[in-house]
């Protein structure tokens, strides 16, 4: 395979597909195969006809959509004008990462696999469909799929005969080398990461939005802290409409940063410059200033508070010279040890930083050059925007449930982003959050006469608050909202606002307070109760129906309730009711945005 290069292209939304692609890349290096790993949208897709061996690793987002970093590639590869034999020289494999509890399970991988076949590509093996619901997690599919892939690939592209594979316990070279700057050098000028001016803010150039207010909207005694946070986006050139989402990257807590630097004996105030090593084709990450301080790297870039993946343990195994620790790390890295790893890491939500404290001998041997191999970059978080520019010019508002819960570990677990946001007080001077906006998956009707029916329990109400504000500002009053929460007195978000709008005849509200009476009442019960109204709105008035909120049972229960409405009021059979719902979905009159 000396003259050939394996190309690994990934489409990743939360970093899992990227991690998997990088892991396959390390396996290729051990097999002495030249390899490149790239995000799909950073790759010049016109070069695909020149490649001989490519593995695509991709996840599926939303309602069967490609991840953000493969959207341009996706548009290109589905162009009608591409000739059917254009990829006849390409040997390829597609590995999908998904969750079979979602209706569009691994949709992107399946569709890409078929499309590459249409374009003349030669599939080395069937599409791999990794599933979070598998007993052994996604690796239950990935491991056997990879061993078959290596069999096929090495038969077609054997590596040079004089090079034997590198053993698993030998460390591979790092991707970057740290060059620390001398103490005598002047403080480096850090280039600003934040953009003002004409181009709308983006991931690479977010806008520093001032926190205007940050208030708790659940009752003081309520178990959950939910915040209504408002940002000032004056002069940002940000435009958004109802259904869009705001993106931001959280920072690690000062305590975690300090503990990390102590464990690895790093001086947070030291500056360094990164250079890629010979085997690395990736440039220095754009978000890291050059020179950069250790503090900036640990606080704003390395995801040290996340639950580490299997690849983290694979890499740690190569550093240790302690027998006990090596045995444990090797077990966590193996296919057979995934249940053990799950009980140690995933179930109690143990962080990478806590793992380092559990393996002191290994941590003491850690080489700073490997930090970017070990820790992924902090991924941006997205929040449905809960306000309309028409009602709140120059503002973005969000509803955030602060994540905190107990596991068997001593310290309570905290959501990185929600805890960070909650800690930003608006009262002490100017606190800014770098953010940008992207299109959401919910689209509201252009037709002024179409009524809108929205089911948004809990913080799922956020995009519907934006929609109601926007529609009322445009003079549209056919707005029906189903809102559910635990208790009328504890977590009834935006109550005052809804009451005003109801009195003004601008909306209709149905509430379900699940814990305020003996029997639990949920939004799906209210949907069934309003069968006559809903049938009239959907069938006679061309209404659009939306669901937003937690993906566990609610979306399915609401869909079932809606089908019962069709059966009861329209006298249709169960399968006809399902067909009606499918037709609404195809014509965008039924939309849902759920998160786990």
Contact between 300 and 251 (Cβ < 8 Å): yes
Q: Residue holding tokens 């009451």?
A: 499
Q: Which helix (H) or strand (E) holds 215?
A: strand 207-216
Which of these, 500, 492, 445, 488, lies nearest to 470 by C-alpha position? 445
Q: Which two tokens stand for residue 251?
A: 């920072």
Distance of CA 237 to the CA centre of its chain: 25
Give the helix ranges, DSSP H, for 64-138.
71-77, 107-118
Q: Which helix (H) or strand (E) holds 333?
A: helix 323-333
**In whole angstroms, what is the distance from residue 174 CA to residue 592 CA?**
43
Detail the residues annotated as belonging to a binding site. 12-17, 59-62, 97-106, 132, 349, 381-384, 415-418, 459, 514-515, 520-524, 595
Asked, as a colleague might, if the bond just before 367 is cis with ω within 30 of 0, I would say no
Contact between 273 and 297 (Cβ < 8 Å): no
Q: In terms of C-beta density within 10 A (0-12 exposed, 13-18 middle, 19 or more buried), how is residue 71 classed?
A: middle
Q: Which two tokens stand for residue 349?
A: 């939500």
Give the helix ranges, DSSP H, for 411-461.
416-423
Detail the residues annotated as belonging to a binding site for NADP(+). 459, 514-515, 520-524
Which of these, 399, 175, 349, lies nearest to 276 by C-alpha position? 175
Number of helices and strands in the chain (H, E): 19, 22
Detail the residues annotated as belonging to a binding site for FAD. 349, 381-384, 415-418, 595
Residues with Cβ within 8 Å of 553's Cβ and at least 6 positions away in sequence, in order, are none
Detail the residues annotated as belonging to a binding site for FMN. 12-17, 59-62, 97-106, 132
Phi-psi region of 393 (alpha: psi -120 to 50; beta: other; left: phi over 0): beta
Contact between 94 and 112 (Cβ < 8 Å): yes
**In whole angstroms, what is the distance from residue 220 CA to residue 532 CA?**
39
The CA-to-CA distance between both ends of the chain, in Å, stands at 42
User: Three-state SS for 61?
Assistant: strand
Which of these, 95, 90, 6, 14, lies nearest to 57 by C-alpha position? 95
């Amino acid at each position: 395979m000396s003259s050939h290069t394996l190309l690994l292209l990934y489409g990743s939304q939360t970093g899992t597909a990227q991690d998997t692609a990088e892991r396959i890349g390390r396996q290729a290096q051990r097999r002495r195969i030249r390899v490149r790993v790239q995000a799909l949208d950073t790759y010049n897709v016109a070069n695909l006809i020149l490649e001989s061996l490519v593995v695509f690793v991709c996840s599926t987002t939303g309602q069967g959509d490609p991840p953000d970093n493969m959207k341009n590639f996706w548009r290109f590869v589905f162009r009608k004008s591409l000739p059917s034999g254009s990829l006849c020289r390409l040997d390829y494999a597609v590995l999908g990462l998904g969750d079979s509890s979602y209706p569009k399970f691994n949709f992107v991988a399946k569709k890409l696999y078929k499309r590459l076949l249409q374009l003349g590509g030669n599939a080395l093996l069937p599409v791999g469909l990794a599933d979070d619901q598998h007993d052994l997690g996604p690796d239950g599919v990935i491991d056997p799929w990879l061993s078959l892939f290596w069999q096929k690939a090495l038969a077609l592209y054997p590596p040079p005969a004089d090079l034997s594979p590198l053993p698993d316990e030998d460390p591979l070279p790092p991707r970057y080398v740290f060059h620390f700057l001398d103490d005598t050098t002047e403080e480096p000028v850090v280039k600003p990461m934040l953009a003002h001016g004409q181009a709308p803010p983006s991931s690479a150039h977010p806008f520093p939005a001032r926190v205007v207010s940050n208030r708790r909207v659940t009752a003081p005694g309520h178990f959950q802290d939910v915040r209504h946070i408002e940002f000032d986006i004056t002069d940002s050139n940000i435009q958004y409409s109802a259904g869009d989402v705001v993106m931001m990257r959280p920072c690690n807590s000062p305590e975690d940063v300090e503990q990390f630097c102590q464990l690895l004996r790093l001086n947070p105030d030291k500056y360094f410059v990164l250079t890629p090593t010979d085997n690395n084709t990736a440039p220095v990450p754009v978000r890291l200033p050059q020179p950069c301080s250790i503090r900036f790297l640990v606080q704003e870039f390395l995801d040290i508070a996340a639950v580490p993946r299997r690849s983290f343990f694979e890499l740690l195994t190569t550093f240790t010279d302690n027998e006990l620790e090596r045995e444990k790390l090797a077990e966590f890295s193996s296919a057979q040890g995934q249940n053990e790893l799950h009980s140690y890491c995933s179930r109690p939500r143990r962080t990478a930083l806590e793992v380092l404290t559990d393996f002191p001998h290994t941590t003491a041997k850690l080489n700073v050059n490997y930090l970017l191999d070990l820790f992924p970059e902090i991924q941006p978080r997205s929040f449905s925007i809960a306000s309309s520019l028409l009602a709140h010019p120059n503002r973005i508002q969000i509803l955030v449930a602060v994540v905190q819960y107990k596991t068997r570990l001593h310290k309570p677990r905290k959501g990185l982003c929600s805890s960070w946001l909650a800690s930003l007080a608006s009262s002490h001077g100017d606190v800014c959050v770098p953010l940008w906006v992207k299109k959401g998956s919910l689209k509201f009707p252009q037709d002024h006469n179409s009524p809108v029916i929205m089911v948004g329990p809990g913080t799922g109400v956020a995009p519907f608050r934006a929609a109601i504000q926007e529609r009322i500002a445009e003079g549209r009053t056919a707005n029906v909202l189903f809102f559910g929460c635990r208790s009328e007195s504890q977590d009834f978000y935006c109550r005052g606002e809804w009451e005003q709008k109801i009195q003004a005849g601008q909306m209709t509200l149905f509430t379900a307070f699940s814990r305020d009476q003996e029997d639990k009442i949920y939004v799906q019960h209210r949907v069934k109760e309003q069968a006559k109204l809903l049938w009239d709105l959907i069938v006679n008035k061309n209404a659009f129906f939306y669901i937003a909120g937690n993906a566990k049972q609610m979306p399915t229960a609401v869909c079932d309730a809606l089908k019962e409405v069709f059966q009861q009021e329209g006298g249709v059979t169960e399968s006809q009711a399902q067909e009606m719902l499918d037709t609404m979905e195809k014509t965008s009159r039924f939309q849902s945005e759920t998160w786990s």
